[in-house]
Amino acid sequence: MTDASSVRAVVALGSNVGDRAAMLEGAVAALRDARGVRVLGVSPWVETEPVGGPPQPPFLNGCLELSTALPARELLRLLQEVEARFGRDRAREVRNGPRTLDLDLLFYGEEVHDEPGLIVPHPRVEERVFVLEPLAALLPDLRLPRSRKTVRERLGELRNAAGDGR
């Protein structure tokens, strides 16, 4: 349960460099230890092929639900600090290239932010099977803001369109 001063947020996690599972589990542990954040749930990890970018190894992806008293910008800063702790250097990496850890803020309550460096809800969440698949395991009935479909419904549409009826 969240209290009146906290917001439910959803974060996507991904890694395709090094010990991917250890990176994701370490990120979850770091967020569990962070002040102003409470992890409410974590999806199973799902292996996915990279989308876009240069040739690179497969990703391990997941999602987590948390409750936070931090404003959206501060939560984003915390996510980026955790990424850096696990070896991510945004200034030196290739866009859409391999990375030790990627933490994307998908949703921050019902809030909408469209400002430099902070866009929530995440603009491409409804097109990304690699996000929707673990999210469906965690919050299958969550309504997506653009389509108003549930995560489960939208994932089914994308799988059917790709001929993957899993």
- 8, 33, 92, 99: the active-site residue: 99
Both structure tokens of 160: 């059917």
- 20, 102, 128, 154: the active-site residue: 102
Our answer to whether residue 104 is catalytic in this structure is yes
- 33, 38, 73, 104: the active-site residue: 104
Of 124, 128, 130, 103, which is closest to residue 48 (Cα–Cα)?
130
d(CA 59, CA 80): 19
- 3, 19, 32, 88: the active-site residue: 88
Our answer to whether residue 73 is catalytic in this structure is no
Our answer to whether residue 38 is catalytic in this structure is no
* Beta pairing partners, 47: 60
Our answer to whether residue 92 is catalytic in this structure is no
* Cα 155 versus chain centre, distance: 15
Annotated catalytic residues are 88, 99, 102, 104
